[in-house]
Structure 1
Amino acid sequence: MEPHVFAQRVFGKSFAKHGDRLLYFDQGSRTRENEGPASYAAMHLLKWLDPSTGKKEAFANFPNGSLFKNGNYFPFGSWLPAFCISDGFIYVAFGIEPVIYLYDVDPPHELISQFKPSLKDYHYFQGGENAKVGTDIGFFLLGGKIESIVRFKEFLLIAYFPGYSPADLSAFQENMGVEERIALRERMDEKYKRRVWIGDLEGNTLGDFVPEVFQANNIGVREGELFAIGVENPDIEEDLFRIYRLDIAESTSRDIE
């Protein structure tokens, strides 16, 4: 029987290579009804793929104490993992939950440690007591979520959307005309930007900022170098995109705003 998991695809978050296998996030059908809290315990959030044989191995349930074990309902996609592999460990965050879990990359994938990064003005959905409220996709789209994790040297970089404040979320849900809603959305898009948190491996904050020239959620490491895709100019149609090579100097990494 296929594990109780749900597939999604997001650019830049598909695979992480380890040896001859690829780590990715699930991979089953989203046609299954959201059965709520009772079903979350059986979900597998990560999966290994052996490209040579096609064999798949699912693992990683929600840890004890996880947001998704609080007895509430959540929309599909709320737990979409962001992860990376480095130095024998899997660093993973389960979607909207602002916690970084550290697993052993080798079976049985023991949970080694966890920490909660101090994300600036992070507002996230904590579930609904019933299916109607808990599975409202609006809470997921407008709430905070962790979109990627990168390990570079002795630093962790977390790209995240901070989420609307309760007051702005309430305003967005009010009835209004089309033009008024468009104007509100434009104001909210300007107010709420994706951010990058930088910390050490113990979870201490070294910086948290909105990047101006590169996309927060398109950062990656290749052959020991840190790269990011540049921000597009909405006023100019271009047939190319910019890639920046980045570095972090510890002497300048503290108190980045």
Structure 2
Amino acid sequence: MSRPILFFVIFITLLSCDKKENSVTDVQVLFEKVDSIQINYLGSPTVHDLDPLSQRVVFMEHSLSDSGHEIFIADFDGNILSSFIKDGDTRDTYGHIMAPLAIDGENSFMAYSFNGFIHYDFDGNLISRVKIVDFFNPGGRILGMGYGMEKWEGKYFYVNRGSKNADYGDKDFFDEYHTMYLLDPSTGIRESIIPFPENSLFMKGNFFFSRAWEPVFHISESKLYIVFGLEPVIYIYENQAPFNLISSIPIELPDYHYFKGSEKYNNEDVRFFGHRVTSGKISNIKYVDNYFVLSYFPGFDAADTEMSISTNTGPDFWNAMRKKYTTRIAILDSQGKVLNDFVPEGLSETSMKVKNGELWMMGKPNGEVELDYFQLFKVGLTTKGP
């Protein structure tokens, strides 16, 4: 494992106007890179999981290939220990994974897939397979270190990504929808949990574009923290059945512009579905050292949102928007007050993952230079100010 002799603090330089600077307190909480892993690899890796106890990293190469998507196992010293393919036409194939692969033991990982909950050892040998009860094709997937399942007492919390046949224009959709699953790999049962709270934005009778509500979450020793997509509220639940709602914390992110719903559902109207691109949305939440750490896209302001639906917009407009609006990190105290808001240097904002009480993030590659390695960073929080 690479342990830099000189630890360095990412001094948070707010890359925005004075209005955004005045929205945070005098006491700042900063990111500190306290450890790193460098894995020599040339390609387009997607890290699925890491584990400080077994000192293993699972990543995949998802580039198009006739031979399938390759799985790699590496250690914290950066050595690639094994690689294999499990989505081909083999007896132990997972078929199609529905979530990032999850390290679940000292020498094993699990695939939550079309073919069931499948456990492999780190050499790619099949350990066990349990078919999913009442399987149906989900509405999609997101793979990457910040979007994985979270293990709790032998089961896994994960997002309900819905069905390809879901009718988001049904007026009763939000009344009946459960936002998450509790997965049991030993039985194959997926228990639907966490309906929308009664006071949620999504229970106001309006319609939203698909995935506007998709939750991000973090589980601690006693609580389950959830943010429902674009809604700027942290909901706090018990982490045991029946997962009762304990409290909620409205949050005020700097210059956060989000879609508040429409009275009509029209997925063919750019003024409706265009908010998928322009709306603010929270993409990750972690609770570390009594602080909430969120990654979020701030969303277009009203003028840019209106311009985005114009027929006159072209590549120059969208290139300008990509530079103007970037995914950010907000650090909040336990009451929801923003203590800092910034774009982290050299870190992928959405990749935050807590394992064994440690916060880890992917290094953000330099888009101008192709590297023959990638990095993971253990990140600590430190304070500065009166």
Identify the residue that residue 227 of structure 1 maps to in structure 2: 360
Structure 1 CA distance, aligned partners of 2:158 and 2:149? 5
Structure 2 partner of 1:77: 211
Q: Against the structure 1 CA distance between its residues 6 and 145, is the aligned structure 2 distance closer, same or farther, given a 3 Å change threshold?
A: farther
The match for 2:178 is 44
- Which structure 2 residues correspond to residues 60-139 of structure 1 after superposition, within 5 A? 60-132=194-266, 136-139=272-275
CA distance in 2, matches of 1:142, 1:158: 19
Q: What is the CA distance between 1:77 and its match in structure 2?
A: 0.5
> Residues of 2 paired with 1:28 and 1:203: CA distance?
30
Superposed, 1:110-189 pairs within 5 Å as: 110-132=244-266, 136-176=272-312, 181-189=314-322
1:38 shift after superposition: 2.2
**Worse-matched range after superposition: 211-220 or 96-105:** 211-220
Give the corresponding residue for 1:9: 141
The structure-2 alpha-carbon separation of the partners of 1:174 and 1:35, relative to structure 1 and needing over 3 Å to count, comes to: closer
8 A Cα contact 1:74 1:135, kept in partner: no
Shift of 1:134: 9.5
Identity %: 33
The answer to whether the Cα contact below 8 Å between 2:161 and 2:214 also exists between their aligned partners in 1 is: no
User: Which residue does the alignment assign to 1:197?
Assistant: 330
Considering fraction of residues, name the structure with more helix. 1
Check whether the contact 2:168–2:210 (CA below 8 A) recurs between aligned residues: yes
The count of corresponding residues between Structure 1 and Structure 2 is: 250
Assess if the C-alpha contact under 8 Å between 2:147 and 2:351 holds in 1.
no
- For 1:173, the aligned partner's letter is I
Question: Counterpart of 2:208 in structure 1: which amino acid?
Answer: F
- Relative to structure 1, the CA distance from residue 202 to residue 134 in structure 2 (aligned partners, 3 Å threshold; closer, same or farther) is farther
Structure 2: which amino acid aligns with 1:128?
Answer: S
Based on CA coordinates, which of the two structures has the bigger radius of gyration? Answer: 2
Deviation of 1:67 (Å): 0.7
C-alpha distance in 1 between matches for 2:169 and 2:223:
32
Distance of 2:263 and 2:256 partners within structure 1: 22
- 1:225 deviates by 1.9
Given that 2:141 and 2:161 are in contact with CA atoms closer than 8 Å, whether structure 1 keeps it comes out as no
Local SS of the residue matching 1:189: helix
For the pair 1:238 / 2:371, whether they are aligned, the reply is yes
Q: 1:229 to 1:207 in 2, by over 3 A?
A: same
Identify the structure with bigger relative contact order (alpha carbons < 8 Å, sequence gap 6+).
2
Gaps of 5+ in 2: 1-133
SS at match of 1:190: helix
The more displaced of 84-93 and 232-241 is 232-241
Secondary structure in structure 2 of the residue aligned to 1:236: coil
CA–CA distance in 2 between the matches of 1:136 and 1:240?
41
Q: CA deviation at 1:28?
A: 4.0
Single out whichever of 188-197 and 239-248 deviates more from structure 2.
239-248
In structure 2, what residue type is equivalent to 1:31?
Answer: N
CA RMSD between the two structures: 2.3
Q: Which residues of structure 1 form unaligned runs of 5+?
A: none
Cα distance in 2, alignment partners of residues 163 and 15 from structure 1: 26
TM-aligned CA deviation for residue 108 of structure 1: 1.0
Distance in 2 of aligned mates of 1:24 and 1:7: 14
TM-score, length-scaled by structure 2: 0.61
Q: 1:217 & 1:53 partners in 2: Cα distance?
A: 31
Conserved 8 A contact 2:295-2:328? yes
